[in-house]
């Protein structure tokens, strides 16, 4: 695998509402979006190949999310299935490693197709973990000229969120995580790094301990030292802080709305993150910019089976109801709507 391939960001988060709804979402941070990418519905029975050009499988469960409809090889970047299993793939640059040899006793799966395979065949996190441990192996086979360095996050109606990382010493599956994932380094490194921020809190400091003690501290002083840049470690710390202290929604609508607000704290403003080592363009890439930015944000709800999204230019929240599409027998795609939208207020 080319260790310098892909410089994309991305942040993932799971969160619960007060009435017991389970949400999982992500920012998609990159300098482009593959041509043909749309919000995509795949019905049960859809054919796909875990290895491009290989023998096919069919989806046991219907899926929806953002992705591509390639011939015999649909791809989902993130999404959910009709059983409430949710998750996505994020870049794991310089750390992802896949074995060169294949385990002859297991089904090979190319990394870009792993998420669809798990969503298409597994109803729960528990089933997905068992599939990873017993049934499949990641294949170090190029797709569109490269093997993308990826790691994955999955969650379901139990509220458990797992992180899946392919390292040089093998595949690691981290159970019952804190519900946050960004990019490199590994998940254990990010967990340890949180110890550097043990003093962060939501409560303001009333007065400074210096001088005569009469100066009122600024609002937000309890979080002084919270990193504000867009690096992977800083985004992990910010989202971990917000997941701990931000008030969850009372129901799905308020929960989703507030979760989009949390993701804005980790979003890349266009022009703030100039790419120093740009990923080579593939045949599907168009409108490549010299900046990484938050192209879109997607959020899933395990109970309602809705997939919500916004785009960089289109901040109005849209959603697709997977449950309402289960009678459809063919794949469907829906535009992501990159256009601006303003609602005028008139007398």
Which residue among 6, 10, 122, 131 is the active-site one?
A: 10
Q: What is the DSSP letter of 38?
A: E
d(CA 134, CA 44): 23
Q: Is 300 a catalytic residue?
A: no
What order do you get walking across the sheet with 332-334 strand by strand?
A: 170-174, 161-167, 150-155, 86-91, 75-81, 63-68, 38-42, 332-334
CB 256: neighbour CB atoms within 10 A?
24
What does the alpha-carbon distance between residue 246 and residue 223 come to, in Å, rounded to a whole number?
13
CA distance 15 to 155: 10
Q: Which of 279, 319, 313 is nearest to 296 (CA)?
A: 313
Please state the φ and ψ torsions of residue 40, each to the nearest 5 degrees.
-125, 135
d(CA 240, CA 307) in angstroms, rounded, equals: 23
Hey, which residues are catalytic here? Answer: 10
């Amino acid at each position: 695998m080319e260790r310098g391939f892909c410089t994309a960001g991305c942040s993932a988060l799971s969160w619960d509402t007060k009435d017991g709804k389970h949400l999982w979402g992500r920012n998609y941070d990159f300098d482009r979006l593959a041509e043909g990418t749309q919000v995509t519905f795949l019905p049960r029975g859809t054919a796909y190949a875990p290895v491009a050009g290989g023998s096919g499988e069919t989806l046991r469960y219907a899926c929806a999310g953002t992705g591509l409809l390639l011939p015999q090889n649909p791809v989902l970047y993130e999404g959910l299935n009709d059983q409430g299993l949710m998750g996505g793939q994020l870049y794991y640059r310089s750390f992802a490693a896949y074995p060169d040899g294949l385990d002859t006793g297991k089904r090979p799966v190319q990394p870009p197709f792993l998420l669809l395979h798990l969503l298409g065949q597994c109803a729960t996190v528990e089933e997905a973990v068992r599939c990873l441990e017993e049934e499949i192996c990641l294949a170090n086979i190029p797709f569109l000229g490269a093997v993308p360095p990826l790691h994955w996050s999955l969650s379901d109606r139990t509220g458990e969120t797992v992180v899946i990382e392919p390292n040089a010493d093998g595949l690691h599956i981290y159970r019952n995580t804190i519900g946050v994932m960004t990019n490199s380094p590994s998940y254990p490194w990010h967990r340890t790094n949180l110890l550097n921020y043990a003093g962060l809190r939501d409560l303001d400091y009333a007065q400074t301990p210096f001088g005569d003690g009469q100066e009122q501290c600024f609002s937000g002083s309890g979080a002084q030292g919270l990193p504000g840049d867009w690096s992977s470690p800083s985004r992990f710390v910010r989202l971990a802080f917000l997941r701990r202290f931000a008030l969850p929604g009372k129901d799905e609508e308020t929960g989703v709305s507030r979760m989009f607000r949390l993701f804005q704290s980790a979003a890349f403003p266009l022009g703030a993150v100039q790419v120093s080592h740009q990923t080579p363009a593939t045949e599907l890439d168009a409108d490549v910019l010299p900046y990484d930015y938050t192209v879109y944000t997607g959020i899933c709800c395990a109970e309602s089976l809705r997939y919500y999204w916004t785009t960089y230019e289109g901040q109005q929240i849209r959603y697709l109801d997977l449950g309402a599409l289960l009678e459809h027998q063919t794949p469907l795609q829906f535009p992501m709507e990159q256009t601006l939208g303003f609602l005028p207020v008139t007398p």
